[in-house]
Each structure stands twice: as structure tokens, then as C-alpha cells.
A and B are shown apart, each in its own frame.
Chain A
Amino acid sequence: MSATTTTAAPAFTAPGSFGRVVRSILKSRTATFGFALVILNILLALLAPVLTSFDPIATDAMNALQESSGEHLLGTDALGRDTLTRTLFGGQYALAISFTATALTVLLGSVIAGIAAYRGGIVDDIITRVLDSVLAVPAILSMLVVVTIFGTGPWVIILAVMVVYTGGVTRIVRATVMDVLPKDYITAAKARGEGMFSILAREVFPNVLDIILVEFAMRASWVVLLISSLSFLGFGASPPTPDWGLMVAENRNLMSVVPLATLSPIVALATLIVGLNLAADGLAKSLGVDRMKEVLG
């Protein structure tokens, strides 16, 4: 790759287009509602230590299995832990892991897609075939295998998500990059002697940013689902982590005694994912990306 050229950077996004997207999202009631739900979830998670004075992990056998009361708004679980506290801190855990995992997956998938599309030929064939084979293995099986190999912990779960979803991201971003590559400004960049990575970073990715953003918003909701399912099965977060999936698994058998201990994480999980879905829909619409095509890849 040659030294960075000082030629003018390509039009990143037209001036004011960020404002335009925001305005178009605000115009749609459902999209606004979706973003509001996501922001609410983020705020509640960030403010968890302020909103509650209980410890999410410390057990308190004296106050186990309590119903809703002034002290414990949503009651307590079998170990006397405050359900509201655990649900709020569960948000921290879910958001941090899911967003990191989604961001890394989309980043890796986009880079692989860029290289595959740019190089073409045998490199493209190999990448496409290998990733397609990964997609043919059920997501849960791949995740189980990754978790069994590397043990538990947040980074293992993030790695597992990357293994499962990179293929899908690559497939979609690759198709879009293929549309961009024949454009004149790419030919011009090649003629200037720019290398592959420079072209991808400076010319290609800015022009497929809308697809990548929608991809991120969409995957995020799936990742939250997948991670919580993994925890529910007992392969994700290990106790006593306040993880929503784990909380449902722990309290499910006590549903007739303290229903709130099961229902709270369920409601939290559902609002976050509904929010992410509506936000992704709104984002796709205002960026002019066909979300159903996205799903199909």
C-alpha cells in the first residue's frame, strides 16, 4: 500500500444528511418509539447504581422470595436478591456484551466482505464457501462448541456471536460492495495508485455505510436474543451474574411463588428487543435500505 495520498477525501456523507436521517426518523412514530425504548434501556442500565441501593449479587436469606413491597419494588428471588436491582444491572450486562459483540461482528464481516469483493476470483470463492458452510451449522451448535472449547466469560460469548453472525454480515455487505466497485471514483482511485485497504477505507466503506448501519441495528436485536438464550440454557453467563436469560432460568420454577422474579427480566428483554427492532426498521426506512432484502441476504 502506498503512502497516504493527500487528494481530497471522497464525499463521506452529504452535508446535513445526518440531520436529515434524524428528522425522518423523528417523523415516524414507531421509529421514534423504538429509539426511545433503546435509549431508555441504556439510561436505566447506566443509572442502575444510582437508582437502587441494593447489591445485585449479595444474597440475603432473611428476605428471600418476597412479593412486591415498598422496600423491594419487584420483590426478591430465592436468594433474597432484589429483582429490580438485578434487572437493572442485567441491562448493563446485556447491553455491553451485545453491543460489543455486534460491533465487532459487523466490523469483521465488513472487512472480510470488502476483501472478498475487491480481490474477487479464488479469494472470493474460498471466503464465500467457507462462510456459507459456517452458516449451515445451526447457530446454537456453533455457539455450544465455542463455549465448550474456550470456557465461559464475556469475551467467549462475544467470540461465539462473531463465529455465528460474521457469515451473514459478510454476505450482505459483499453484495453491496460489488455494486460500488465498478463506479468511476473507484477506477479513479485505482489509477491514482491507491492500495486495496486505502480504497476500501476511503472510497468503498463510506459509500456502503447505510447498509452497515442497518446491519448493525438489525443484528443487535438478534444478538441480544441469542446471548440470552445461551445464558438461559446455562452456557452463557454463569451465576451469580445478573443476566436476564439466566434470571429467567433460575426463577422459572418459582413462577407460582414469585412471578415478578421471572417476569421482570422477560419484560426488560422484550422492551429492549422491540425497541431495537423498531429502531432498525426506522433506520432502514430513512436510509432507503430494504430491510427484508437485508434479512434474505
Chain B
Amino acid sequence: MLTFFAKRIGWSVFTVLLATVLVFSAIQSLPGDAASQILGQNATPSAVATMRQQLGLDDPPVSRFVSWLGNALQGNFGNSLVSGGSVGAEVGSALINTSLLAGITIVIGVLLSLVLGLVAGLTRDRWPDISISTLALVGMSVPEFVVATVLVLLFSIYIPLFPAVVIAGQNASVAEILPSVWLPAGALICVLAAYIIRMMRTSVIDVMDSEFVRTAILKGNSTPRIVFKHILPSAMLPTLNVIAMNVAWLVGGVVVVESIFNYPGIGTLMIRSVQTRDLPAILLITVMSALTYVVCNLLADFAAFLLNPRLRYPRSAK
């Protein structure tokens, strides 16, 4: 088991590294660079050249990547080519805001969808299932920007409960942002929940057909005991992967929602950084997102390991 996880972690590190290399090389081929972006369209060629030199854009790409990597490993991700401030601090504050949004989304979304999925699975083809499944299908079929637009229409125009956009800037404190977190979170929950509900429902139905549940029923166990002791743990197992995938998806999903609500998080920063060719910021965002992706996958593997006794022993050779 240890070697299995050591290997997985090794590959994960490699994946993150390769992802940064890919993004780095892609940004290299962008027409125009930060120097011309900062100076604007009317800059003289010599001013652009000086700027390029100051920013270190003249060095060969490979040596720039290696020096970036060396600094990054020491926790120094460089300065933003646009604002001049430390990228680490900039991304850090955006990350805190996004974590707040993502945290609320994940906690509410996962709990809600596990319960709804369980109910749907237990009441298969009866009205609770049909209504939950229909809602989930709609949630899957409507893009985040549509959910967000409808939520704004309902809860800030018709019933003015929440602000439609975040006015607080990038450096606002958590207390300032909290009131405006609920609408974006609601939009994300709708999309996130849809997939988890569907998966949970399918696996509850699968588990209910299995022999150990039938045995538990025949033994005369009480319904709550059967549901929570027998069905729930086994049904959670395949659902974990979907949860992990969706949490990794959130990193990208927040981009659209954040930009609609002008929420000062990672997504808004990502769009701005690509527009201004701010390489250090883009690279750090890539590292953070890729890390989230691999960590979610590792956690799902690990949780599956804990929940599924069959995986704890080495599998027979294929």
C-alpha cells in the first residue's frame, strides 16, 4: 500500500510539473508580451525593448523556466509583471476568497446532494425520485452563467435579498465579502449537486440490489440501520470519485461564476492575467489548480482505500 501511494504521489508531482511546462510554453507563443501590454499601443519600440529587458523577457525560455522553477520551489513565485507586487500575495488573497466560496459550496453542495441522492435511490421511480432526478437533470443541463443569471433575477432584482455584484475589491476582508458569497455559491451548488445526486442515486440503487443488503433486510434489521450501516457506506464509495472530480472542476467552474458576480477570487484573477499576459500569475494559478486536481484524486483514492476492505490487500497479478 505504501509503495502504491508513494508511486501515485510521485506521478502527481510529475503531473503538476508537466502542466506548468505546458502552460509556460503556450504563453511563450502568445503574440505580444507583458512589456507591450503594460506600455500600451503607443509605446515606442525602444521603450518596449527596455521594458522587456527589465522584466527579464529577453532570456531564452528554457533558462527562464528553470530559474522560475528554482525560485518557486523556495516559495518565491516572482512579481506580477503588471502590478509589480508579489504574485504569491496576490494569488494568496484571491485564493482565500475563492476558498471561502468553494468551501461553502462544497459543504452545502455535497451534504445536500448525498441526502437527495440517497432519497432518490431509496424511492426509485416514485415521485420523490422523479422530482429529484428531474431537478438534477436540469442542473446538469444549464450552464453556470444561466443559473447565476436566474438567481440574480430572482434574489436581487425581484426579491432584493443579496447583492448582485461584489463591490469589495481584491483585498476586502472575509467579513466584507461574506454577504455577497451566497448567490455565487448557490449557482455553483446547483451545478455541483446535479452530478453527485445522479451518481449517488445510481449507486444506492446498485447497492440495494446486492445480496448483503437483501440479507440485512431478511435478518430483520431496522430500516435506519440498513440505510446507514449497509447502504450508505457502500454507495458512498463510487460517489467519492465523482465528488473529487467535481471539487477539481470547481476550480475551473468558479471562473465563470466569479466573473459574473465580479467576485474577487482566483477566477477573476485568471481572466485578467491571461488578458495582460502576466506569466508569473498564470503559472502560479496553474500550479494551484493542478495541485488541487491531483490532491483531490489522491484523496479519493485514499478514501476508497479506507472504505473498501477489498482494496487493502494486494490484488492478484493480472
Contact = CB atoms under 8 A, between A and B. Distances in A.
Interface of A: 129-130, 132-141, 144-146, 148-149, 221, 225, 228-229, 232-233, 245, 248-249, 252, 255-256, 259, 262, 266, 269-270, 273-274, 276-278, 292, 295-296
B256 A145 contact: no
Contacts of B199: 292, 295
A252 B146 CA distance: 10
B197 interface: no
A156 to B, nearest CB: 13
B270 interface: yes
Contact of B255 (A138, A221, A270, A274): A138
28 contacts: A129-B14, A129-B18, A130-B18, A133-B16, A133-B18, A133-B290, A134-B19, A140-B255, A141-B252, A141-B289, A145-B26, A145-B27, A148-B30, A149-B26, A228-B145, A232-B145, A233-B256, A233-B271, A245-B145, A248-B145, A248-B149, A255-B149, A255-B157, A266-B146, A273-B141, A274-B138, A278-B137, A295-B195
Interface of B: 11, 14-16, 18-19, 22-23, 26-27, 29-31, 137-138, 140-146, 149-150, 153, 157, 195, 198-199, 202-203, 238, 241-242, 245, 251-252, 255-256, 259, 267, 270-271, 274-275, 277, 282, 285-286, 289-290, 293-294
A138 B251 contact: yes
Contacts of B255: 138, 140-141, 233
A229 B150 CA distance: 15
Contacts of B252: 138-141
B289 A136 contact: yes
Closest 5 CB pairs of A and B: A138-B252, A133-B18, A273-B141, A136-B290, A136-B293
Nearest to B195: A295
A273 B140 CA distance: 8
A259 B157 CA distance: 12
A292 B202 contact: yes
A141 B11 CA distance: 22
**A133, A138, A249, A259 interface centre (most CB from chain B within 10 Å):** A138
B259 A233 contact: yes
B281 to A, nearest CB: 12
A136 B26 contact: no
A133 B23 CA distance: 10
Nearest to B27: A145
B149 A137 contact: no
A140 B256 contact: yes
Contacts of A137: 19, 22-23, 286, 289-290
Given A141-B274, A295-B242, A149 B30 contact: yes
B19 A136 contact: yes
A296 B239 CA distance: 10
A274 B251 contact: no
A133 B19 contact: yes
B102 to A, nearest CB: 13
